[in-house]
Amino acid sequence: MTYRLSTVPGSLTVGEWGPADAPVVLAVHGITASHQAWRTVAALLPEFHLIAPDLRGRGGSRTLPGPFGMARHADDLADVLDHLGARHATVVGHSMGAFASLIFGLRHPALVESTEVPNTNHYTIVMGSGAASVAATATRRGLSQ
């Protein structure tokens, strides 16, 4: 599995796995995590281009200045996709990353193919057609409840 680490100029550190020309999954970590939280998921979904940024204030992006609110996180996610040339993505968010993912969808709907926020209060919210493909693949590989 190919792993790449880069930095969006003046912005977030980003981990990427999988082929750059594959369908894009934007994976958004929880409050105390970093992009490395998605390493196992990426290994089990090698046919996807998994893009996992370190949110502002965390991991490799920990030295970036505030503000650190959800709107800023959402705009940072849009900058990541733009920098990497991704026209849209299936967005998967965990914990606080789920909240940032939903705000991202509201602020940048043209970039979102679908959104999935798994295991958020023991429910899975799936919106859009692309999430069904990612969710089905994850379920077949034992990644979901």
The structural domains of the chain, ordered by start, are 3-140 (3.40.50.1820)
3-state SS class at 109: helix
CA distance 53 to 34: 8
Which pLDDT tens digit goes with each residue over 95-137? Answer: 899 999 999 999 999 999 988 877 655 344 445 555 555 555 5
Mean pLDDT of the chain: 86
Q: What is the pTM of this model?
A: 0.84
Sign of the dihedral through C-alpha 62, 55, 50, 98: positive
